[in-house]
Amino acid sequence: MNKSKLNVAIIGLGTVGSGVIKLLKRQKNNIKNRTGIELELVAISAKNKRKKRSIDISPYRWIASPITIARDPDVDVIVELIGDMDNTARKVIKEAINNGKHIVTANKSLLAKEGSSFEELAKKKSVFLRYEAAVAGGIPIIKVLQDSLIVNKISKLYGVINGTCNFILTKMEAEGREYTDVFSEAQQLGYVESDPRLDIGGIDSAHKLALLSCLAFGTSLDLKGVKTEGIDHISIEDIDEAHLIGYKIKLLATAEYQKKLLRQEVSPKLIRKDSPIAQVNGSTNIIAIEGEEIGTTIFSGPGAGMGPTASSVVSDLVAIASRKSKSTFLNGDKNFSGKRDKTLTKESSFYLRFVLKDKPGVIARLSGKLGSCGISINQMKQKPLPKQKATLIMTTHKTVRKNLEKALNDIRRLKICEQRPVSIEIEEI
């Protein structure tokens, strides 16, 4: 490979792929003038050649089979922007690396599952594997962890890294609308993945968190170790009640490494309104990193979309052409002695909402179960509902989640609840 010229092939011409073509065209001269690097788009591929697109693809060589591109001797780097809906992306990446091609991908789902094996193969074949766009779209968080913060011992990383959930929660709060209503609007606007569980079930955040915690703590990729809960049980009532006691509800991704225990979690949390995390609205992402030397550093910006994501992809191409950092950091430290924290021993306060049968003695029985699990109530209020029902809202003093889960199971068995109780941790950040 001539250092100053890189022959690029793009597979996948959807939102991100089209954005990359536009950006390469618009910025070609600028990139050359500022870095001396020439990025030449030599081939493209997608599923359907005849599909109407927002870009003119006629100047580029179309190759129908992604695997053929992965073997093309004229191509230096494959930009994989297909997604993880079938096995194609995985096959393309492996084939391309085996043929000595560098890889740029935004495929967080595939990386969270197969990143370590890709890294091993890339090392063996002495090629680059870069994936800046895979986490937080336009925020250059991967480079920050691989490069700028490399001398920092990082103890905690947390943030809002799924724009769709943040859009839904922000709209519910701003417009006083129920979850199902705002979710339908998000779907109509094309904000929700074709499999909605990826977004609203917290799985997309879990993919990104697994990548980030591996980079931050030098652990191996451990997607299965991410405790994951989505937002579909959050009601406008929870958002309003949180507001009354000074909090907002956000889907928070948290990874913490303490006393050789790694805790990775994606779940809705009550966050104090004045926290920078609570200020992030709509599809914006935010990530806070606590490092030994830097203290807390916060990164915020567009977490998705054509322009921001394409910007990250093209920056990876420039880095490859400049031969910057070959390590992908996805394989962790083989000597890492940390263990997953599965014990749920972290102490927190919780917000709880119960819809109860409105009968004498019900609250006493419920409080009894909480008390017998060592949970003490901080604040409590009751609101009558029609049809002999009542809502009971409370916050607890600090307790471990294990105790709370036992109490909630015991309460469910009392058959006094009209629906599954809602419990949301209060995160003081």
Q: Does 115 bind ligand NAP (CB under 6 A)?
A: no
CB of 81 or CB of 366, closer to ligand NAP = 81
| CA 42/CA 61 separation, integer angstroms | 6
CB of 57 to ligand NAP, least distance (A): 10
Q: Quick check: 219 and 226 in contact, CB under 8 A?
A: no
Residues 267-286 within binding reach of ligand NAP (CB under 6 A): none
Q: Which residue has the tokens 């940390």?
A: 338
Q: Which of 143, 156, 208, 250 is catalytic?
A: 208
Q: Does 161 bind ligand NAP (CB under 6 A)?
A: no
The two three-digit tokens of residue 143, written as one number? 């480079």
Q: Does 255 bind ligand NAP (CB under 6 A)?
A: no
Q: Identity (one letter) of the amino acid at 106?
A: A
Q: Does 82 bind ligand NAP (CB under 6 A)?
A: yes
Q: Which DSSP string do the residues of 201-234 spell out, in sequence order?
A: TSHHHHHHHHHHHHHHH-PPP-GGGEEE--STT-
Dihedral sign, Cα of residue 212, residue 255, residue 235, residue 299? negative
Q: Does 47 bind ligand NAP (CB under 6 A)?
A: yes
Q: Does 133 bind ligand NAP (CB under 6 A)?
A: yes
The two three-digit tokens of residue 404, written as one number? 């709370």
Q: Does 407 bind ligand NAP (CB under 6 A)?
A: no
Q: Does 413 bind ligand NAP (CB under 6 A)?
A: no
CB of 105 or CB of 396, closer to ligand NAP = 105
Q: Does 395 bind ligand NAP (CB under 6 A)?
A: no
Q: Select the residue interacting with ligand NAP from 9, 24, 43, 66 (CB under 6 A).
A: 66
Backbone angles phi, psi at 104, to 5 degrees: -120, 130
Q: Which residues pair with 298 in a beta bridge?
A: 288
CB of 58 or CB of 337, closer to ligand NAP = 58
The helix or strand, by DSSP H or E, that contains position 360, with its residue range, turns out to be none
Q: Which residues of 226-265 are buried (b: 16+ CB within 10 A; e: fewer)?
A: bbbbbbbbbebebbebbeeeebbbbbbbbbbbeeeebbbb
Q: Does 138 bind ligand NAP (CB under 6 A)?
A: no
Q: Which DSSP string do the residues of 110-139 spell out, in sequence order?
A: HHHHHHHHHHHHHHHTT--EE-GGGTTTTS
Exposed, middle or buried: residue 334 (CB in 10 Å: 0-12, 13-18, 19+)?
exposed
Q: Does 12 bind ligand NAP (CB under 6 A)?
A: yes
Candidate ranges 254-262, 304-312, 378-386, 401-409; the one touching ligand NAP (CB under 6 A): 304-312
Candidate ranges 100-108, 183-191, 246-254, 378-386; the one touching ligand NAP (CB under 6 A): 100-108
Dihedral sign, Cα of residue 223, residue 224, residue 225, residue 229? positive
Q: Quick check: 373 and 404 in contact, CB under 8 A?
A: yes
CB of 288 to ligand NAP, least distance (A): 20
Q: Does 187 bind ligand NAP (CB under 6 A)?
A: no
Q: Cβ neighbours of residue 315 under 8 Å, at least 6 residues apart?
A: 132, 140, 143
Residue 359: count of CB within 10 angstroms of its CB: 11
Candidate ranges 83-91, 112-120, 338-346, 357-365; the one touching ligand NAP (CB under 6 A): 83-91
Helix (H, G, I), strand (E, B) or coil at 395: strand
Q: Select the residue interacting with ligand NAP from 7, 107, 170, 315 (CB under 6 A).
A: 107
CB of 133 or CB of 216, closer to ligand NAP = 133
Q: Does 417 bind ligand NAP (CB under 6 A)?
A: no
Q: Select the residue interacting with ligand NAP from 166, 170, 309, 328 (CB under 6 A).
A: 309
Q: Does 228 bind ligand NAP (CB under 6 A)?
A: no
Q: Does 16 bind ligand NAP (CB under 6 A)?
A: yes
Annotated active-site residue 334? The verdict is: no
Q: Does 211 bind ligand NAP (CB under 6 A)?
A: no
Write the binding mask 332 to 361 for ligand NAP: x where contact by CB under 6 A, - elsewhere.
------------------------------
Catalytic residues: 208
Would you tell me which residues interact with ligand NAP (CB under 6 A)? 11-17, 45-48, 51, 66, 81-83, 86, 88, 106-108, 133, 137, 304-305, 309
